[in-house]
Structures are given as structure tokens and as C-alpha cells.
Amino acid sequence: MSAQREMKEKNPWHTPVTIIITVIGVIAIVALVTVAVVQNRPLPQKYKYGIVLDAGSSHTALYIYEWPAEKDNNTGRVEQKHSCKVDGPGISSYASAPLKAGQSLRECMQKAEKWVPSKRHHETPLYLGATAGMRLLNMVDSVASEDVFQAVKEALQKFPFSYQGARILSGQEEGAFGWVTVNYLDERLKQGLETTGALDLGGASTQISFVSDNYDGSESPNNSVNFRLYGNDYNLYTHSFLCYGKDQAHRLKLAHQTQSGPNAVADPCSHPGYNATKKYSVLYDSPCVSDRKPQGAPATFHHTGTGNLQQCQEVVRNVFNFTDCKYSHCSFNGVFQPILQGGFGAFSAYYFVMDFLNLTDTTVPLEAVKEQLKAYCATPWDQIVQQHPKAKLKYLAEYCFSGTYILSLLTEGYNFTSVTYSDIKFIEKIKGSDAGWTLGYMLNLTNMIPAEAPDFPPLPHAGYVSIVTIIAVLIFILFLFSLRPLWPRCSKQQQIV
């Protein structure tokens, strides 16, 4: 007992010096690890926002995007957080009452004020981009187009966001930014994967954009857009067909049909039993068709339906010109198009129409799709109205045409075949964000897609903290070893026991 007590008393680890050193060592390790953890802890998640208004020909929609505040330059994912559909028609429809164009945006803008946290308001960029509706208005009446923009600008500047301007996008921009959106959301750009083409069908124009290996941009430089994104170069083919959105294409078709007999149109693209009286002044009130108005046409014409897909396809074919092509390959109207390559995402009206018709599944053979559409077109109008009591008659009357037009545009216009038809996917959203040009437009204007691949931290946070801890413990053990001069006494005493 006494020997044990003596040993305990003489144990060098129990001397005040070693106890103090040990305590200091432990405190140092705790301090080191705490500093490492606190210094490198991810900040509480804060977000930044951006707002884009898509002023389309048929309507305006507002999109709010959100991304983590500390990562806006490279790794943070930008996502659509909210969207708001503006009531009423597109801003180009307010040519004779421009102030109403501004007023129409108010409701969605007030919602945006609530959705974006108020302390972020002043730094949230706000963009408005107008597409084919304003392109057409600008062509026929540039003063009216300016007045609409002035009214829209004044209305938007009343809100506390950072207003960045309202302008008409070129068709090239519209096509290219749609492609950026689709490939950004699919994370194909960041990972350097093969990209997906983008097919956008609007009311007044339609866009096709894709990367093709055998296209270097030299054959038709106007259709070429070059991007360097995340360290990869992309040579994108893009084309926008003005007047080939589904609403203007419908006018082109009707205008063509009224050429032969101006009093009545028996339309194979309308359902049997459909019957309406339409005004010539309304039909020809667009630069897409205004030069075709028949001389001495009456004020109105009777529009009736016969519901025959095959004849509808023939009428629809007439809106395309396949005769002149001065390039190696063309789509239609003498426009160059390289050979199709890869998958395609088809969005906006492509999706809305095909979804309504239950035809979004492209694994269904094209012939079967046509059979289904044939049956739909042949369905009597009163039955169609009965089956869709809530749908607007104006839209309901056009789905047979729209479906036929989409198939014709894809197969005869762009040269998709019954084999490559399944390369197309009809999509509305990707991971919760709408497919469309708005996200790509904002990513571009805020420089949110870097040209070079971002530098990632070599270790994730948890790995970093673990390594710091292990090294600290090792240093401490080494330190204890450095106190070895004290050890032999201890071991000798243990041997004595």
C-alpha cells in the first residue's frame, strides 16, 4: 500500500507542470477545431433573386428565380421559385392603349414584391423581354411599339426592384437562350455532356436550336451562335421562324384557304359541325398575312369544319415553302438547317397542345400518333365542347389544327422521321423550372454561367474539419512524446512494482 502511495506521489504525470501542459494542449486542440469549424461553417443559407417577364405574343408571364447568395458565380443552382401569369393578352395587343399594357403587369409585380424578401428588393434585377408579338408590332408600327415599351417601363420602375430594361429579343437570342435554359437545368453544360436541342413553339414565332457535329457555322453565319460555358466551346445552330408560331400559322393557313373562295371556308382542320362567322379585318390584321388579303373581299366569311386529318395535312403543308434551297440542307422557306443530331426538348405550345391531345409520349410510333389525331379531328364539334366544358371555345376549336401543324412542322419542316421522332421529348418543366428562354436570358445577363469551369474547394467542409482534427491530435501526441525525458522514471517505477 505504502509503495503504491509512494509511486502515485512520485508519478511524474501528476506533477503540476505536466497537468498544466496537458490542459493547455487540450484547450489548444479544442480551440483549433472550434476555429476551423466556425471559420469554415457554411453561412446560414441566404438567397438572391432575379425576375424576368416573358412578354410573349399571346400573354405575359413573370418568373422569379432564386439561388444561394454565396455561390452566385459558379456552383449554386438557379431555380424557378414562383411564376405568375399576367391576366389578359400579350403587351403587343395594347398598341392602341399602351398605358393598359403597363397596368396589366401590376398584379403579378405586386405578388413579386411579396415573394422576394424585402431586404433583397433593391438588389433584385428585373428584366422584361418581348418576343414575336412585339417584333411584328415594331415592323408595322414602330411608334406604337415604343409607346408600349414606355408604358411598360414606367409601370415596372414603380416597383422597388433593380429595373434592368425592357427590350425585344432577336429570334436568335430567343432560340439560343431557350437552349441554354434546357441544358443548364439538365446540368449538361456543367458536366460537359452532349447537349439537348431546343424546340420552342410560341404563338407568333417558333425556334429550333441544336448543336450538330457537322456544322461549323460557316454555311449560314446568321444561324450560328458561339458560347464558351464551363470551359467548353459550343457552336450552336439556331433559327427563329417569324409568323410560324401556332397562332400566326393558323392565320397563314386560313388566309391561304380564303384565297380560293372568299365567302366560305370548309376547313378539314376544324371539327365536323363547327360553324363560325369570322371577320376578314381580324384575320388579316397581321403583317404575316396582310399582303394576301383578297381584293374586294367581303367583311366576313363562314368558317365551317369537316374534320379530315389527311386534307388538313395538305392545307397545313401549304404554309411551308419547300422549293428553294441554296444550302446543302434546308428546313423550309429556304432556311439552312444542318442534319439533326441528339435529343430535343419541345416546350411551350408544343407541350400544351400535345398534352391536351394526350400525345406527349413519343415512344408511341408516329403512325399511331397520327391515327389518334385523325380520330380526334373527326370527332363532332358538339361532342368536343361537351367533353371540355371549361375550355375556351377559341382554343378548343384549334387543337386539331395545332396538333396537325406540330406534326407537319416537325416532320416536313425540320425533317424528323418516324425513327427520329422518339428523340423528341415534349416537356413543360425541368426539375420544377419552366422550359423557355427566360432563365437562359437571366443567367447570361447576370454572368451566372462562367466561361471556364469553376474551381471547386479541394475538400468538402466535413472532410476539412476531420483532417484538421486528426492533425491537431497527432501534433498533441507528438508533443507528449517530446516530454519523454519524464517517461523513464515512470517506467522504472512500474517495473519495481
Ligand X SMILES: Nc1ccn([C@@H]2O[C@H](COP(=O)(O)OP(=O)(O)O)[C@@H](O)[C@H]2O)c(=O)n1
| Closest to ligand X by CB, 353 or 472 | 353
- The dihedral through the CA atoms of 6, 8, 11, 17 has a sign that is negative
User: Which CB, 195 or 348, lies closer to ligand X?
Assistant: 348
**Residue 271 touches ligand X, criterion: CB under 6 A:** no
366-385: which residues touch ligand X (CB under 6 A)?
none
Q: Quote the CA–CA distance of 179 and 200 in Å, as a whole number.
A: 9
Query: Following DSSP, what letter does each residue of 393-446 receive, concatenated?
Result: HHHHTTHHHHHHHHHHIIIIIS---TTGGGGEEE-SEETTEE-SHHHHHHHHHT
Q: Are 180 and 226 spatial neighbours (Cβ–Cβ below 8 Å)? A: no
**Residue from 171, 202, 268, 305 that binds ligand X (CB under 6 A)?**
202
Q: Which stretch binds ligand X (CB under 6 A): 40-48, 56-64, 231-239, 251-259?
A: 56-64
Spell out, one character per residue from 308 to 347, where the chain touches ligand X: x when CB under 6 A holds, - when not.
----------------------------------------
Report d(CA 23, CA 27) in Å as an integer.
Answer: 6
- Could you tell me the smallest distance in angstroms from the CB atom of residue 175 to ligand X? 11
CA dihedral 165, 170, 176, 179 (to 10 degrees): 80
* Residues 245 and 206 sit within 8 Å (Cβ to Cβ): yes
Does 56 contact Ca ion by CB under 5 A? yes
Least Cβ distance, residue 249 to Ca ion (angstroms): 14
Q: How far apart, in whole angstroms, are the C-alpha atoms of residue 497 and residue 4?
A: 8
**Residue 132 in the binding site for ligand X (CB under 6 A):** yes
Find out whether 205 is annotated in a ligand binding site. Answer: yes
| Smallest separation (angstroms) from ligand X to the CB of 68 | 30
**What number of CA atoms fall less than 13 Å from residue 331's CA on the CB side?**
24
What is the pattern of x (binds ligand X, CB under 6 A) and - over residues 80-109? ----------x-------------------
Binding positions for ligand X, 397-416, rule CB under 6 A:
none
Whether 430 contacts 185, CB under 8 Å: yes
Taking the complex as a whole, how short is the minimal distance between the CB of residue 355 and ligand X, in angstroms?
9
Q: Is 206 annotated as a binding residue?
A: yes
Q: Is 286 helix (H, G, I), strand (E, B) or coil?
A: coil
Based on the residue annotation, tell me whether 66 is a catalytic residue of this protein.
no
Compute the least distance from the CB of residue 57 to ligand X, in Å.
4
Contact flag: residue 286 with ligand X (CB under 6 A): no
| CA nearest neighbour of 340 among 407, 440, 417, 404 | 417
What's the CA gap between 135 and 204, in Å, rounded? 9
Active-site residue (options: 66, 174, 314, 367) = 174
Residue 129 binds which entry of Ca ion, ligand X, none, CB below 5-8 Å type-dependent: none
Query: From CA 181, how far away is CA 347, in angstroms rounded?
Result: 11
- Host H or E run for residue 265: strand 264-267
432 annotated ligand-binding residue:
no
Cβ proximity to ligand X: between 126 and 396 the closer is 396
Site for Ca ion in 160-219 (CB under 5 A): 202
Region binding Ca ion by CB under 5 A among candidate stretches 50-58, 140-148, 151-159, 275-283? 50-58
Least distance CB 387 / ligand X (angstroms): 17
Q: How long, in residues, is the chain?
A: 497
Residue positions forming the annotated binding site:
203-207
**Which residues are catalytically annotated?**
174
List interacting residues with ligand X (CB under 6 A): 56-59, 90, 131-133, 202-205, 245-247, 348-349, 352-353
Residues that bind Ca ion (CB under 5 A): 56, 202
